[in-house]
A and B are shown apart, each in its own frame.
Chain A
Amino acid sequence: MPRVAPRLLKKALKAHSLLPLLLPACRSIEQSAQEFRWIRNELPNMKQVRQACLQRFKLVPLQYILGNQPFGELDIVCRPGVLIPRWETEEWVCELSERLLGSMGPLNSPFPIWDLCCGTGCVGLLLQRRLGPGCSLTAVDVTDAALGLCVENAHRNDLERPRLIATDVLTKKIVPDSRISLLTCNPPYIPKNQFAADTSPSVKRHEPQLALIGDLEFYSSLVNTWIHHTDSFVYEVGDRRQIEYVMHGIRDDPRLQLEWCVGYRLDSSGCPRVVYGYKAESSLAGALSGYGDLLYIPPGAGK
């Protein structure tokens, strides 16, 4: 990370004595002023504001300092040890829920959603809020901190408490008691060799590596086991390679290739962000077919 120019520090000091502390994290005066305003609005007294700025100087994420992050219309509690929801995730979840609502209307049949690697629970909880009480959420995560936070977030946003499963998706085999309608997951997807180079210092130092470093293992568990229990899936990805891995996994499987459509979706800054799939004859096909660009359509599925 390049150093902050002394000229900029001086300029920030003129605006407010605490503003230079925010510069390493924000990089520009406007951004720092904006963050400073948020900190001042949310914290009751100047002593705490000062403390927050000092922490921010050490690149602690703002969400850990203030303790929350808006996600759609939800207010998600954030604590060290659990990944902070990203705007990219918010974007694809919002779009997904709008599409599902648009094609199905309010739910009347049961709609089981499973959220793997739930973290704060943001993905599942926002879907639950938007789709209404018809959907039942099951949240799966390895760490108890994440599951605890997920329950807290459900409570804070007046949502029904999700069913919790504390397990490692990769090593333990879970067999769901009923068929899953929608499987969502935001797995760790930064390859180890990119973690040192590309990841921002704030994320590297303060967010849990368990929720960040990973490559194809979650996608392979999707293709090998989870896909047999669900009608559709939406997985967040970091790069095109992971999308292709899932697509090839389905296209090259003699059974899956007959019924699954696979597509991907870009985020608003143009990076590949989501790989999704659905059974061509399932009721979700109408909602998901326009969600992104389709990569694979099974033979015989009329398009």
Chain B
Amino acid sequence: MQGIRWLSYTRVHLIKKHKLPPRPKFTPSLESQCEEKFLHGGRGPGGQKINKCNSKVQLKHLPTGIVVECQQTRSRDQNRKIAREKLALEIERANTPGQSGTIREKALQQWHQQSKKSKERKAKGKHEQHRQERELQELEKLKQEQDIIKSMMGS
């Protein structure tokens, strides 16, 4: 799952973007602990008399009292799915101690740091390479100039 990089004799595990720890899943057992509500904003006439395109889904996890809402899409079906994902994440967050977030979030953070470091390293390498090239060019120029001077002196 993880690559290994040697950094001054200490092993460092590399995190890959496509192999992060999975997102928390919404299990069927959670479904029975939840209360789902559909909010369509306000009372008054409904049915054919009015045409509302928003559908907000509110999901409440009864044992912990966590409430999430979703009205991102026009589809109620889609909103229900997104709300469940959100709730699973919130429950995971509540269950992990400390401020640092879930395992996946930690891994993501590490991945960001790691890619930042590797970018820095690459940039440094490039810098070095360019410097050397530049020095070589200057040396060559000097040589050419010396050659010209020599040929002028000779003639």
With both beta carbons as reference points, the residue of chain A lying nearest to B75 in the complex is identified as A70
Q: Assess whether A198 is in contact with B40, with CB atoms less than 8 Å apart.
A: no
A72 to B50 alpha-carbon distance, docked (Å): 19
Count of chain B residues near A, Cβ 8 A? 23
B78: chain A residues within 8 A (beta carbon): 70
Known contacts A91-B38, A199-B45, A267-B46; A84/B77 CB under 8 A:
no
B50: chain A residues within 8 A (beta carbon): 199-200, 203
Known contacts A34-B71, A70-B75, A72-B77; A200/B48 CB under 8 A:
no
Partner of B53, one of A35, A207, A211: A35
Known contacts A91-B38, A269-B40, A271-B46; A86/B76 CB under 8 A:
no
1/0 contact string of A45-83 vs chain B (CB within 8 Å): 000000000000000011100000110110000000001
A73: chain B residues within 8 A (beta carbon): 77
Which residues 34-52 in B have Cβ within 8 Å of A in the complex? 37-38, 40-41, 43, 45-52
Partner of A268, one of B38, B51, B73: B38
A35 to B77 alpha-carbon distance, docked (Å): 18
Q: Assess whether B55 is in contact with A87, with CB atoms less than 8 Å apart.
A: yes
Q: Assess whether A188 is in contact with B53, with CB atoms less than 8 Å apart.
A: no
Which residues 28-55 in A have Cβ within 8 Å of B in the complex? 31, 34-35, 38
B41: chain A residues within 8 A (beta carbon): 31
Closest Cβ of chain A to B13, distance in Å, is 39
A265 interface hit (Cβ, 8 Å) = no
Q: Assess whether A86 is in contact with B48, with CB atoms less than 8 Å apart.
A: yes
Known contacts A38-B74, A70-B77; A84/B51 CB under 8 A:
yes
Question: What residues make up the interface of B, taking CB atoms closer than 8 Å to A?
Answer: 37-38, 40-41, 43, 45-55, 71, 73-78
Question: What are 24 A-B pairs at a CB distance below 8 A?
Answer: A61-B53, A63-B51, A70-B73, A70-B74, A70-B75, A83-B48, A86-B48, A86-B51, A87-B52, A190-B49, A198-B45, A198-B49, A199-B45, A199-B48, A200-B50, A202-B51, A203-B50, A211-B48, A238-B49, A267-B46, A268-B37, A268-B38, A269-B40, A273-B46
Question: What residues make up the interface of A, taking CB atoms closer than 8 Å to B?
Answer: 31, 34-35, 38, 61-63, 69-70, 72-73, 83-84, 86-88, 90-91, 188-190, 194, 198-200, 202-203, 207, 211-212, 236, 238, 267-271, 273
New contact pairs (18) apart from A69-B53, A200-B51, CB-CB < 8 Å: A61-B53, A63-B53, A70-B74, A70-B76, A84-B51, A189-B48, A190-B47, A190-B49, A194-B49, A200-B49, A203-B50, A238-B49, A267-B46, A267-B47, A268-B40, A269-B46, A270-B43, A273-B47
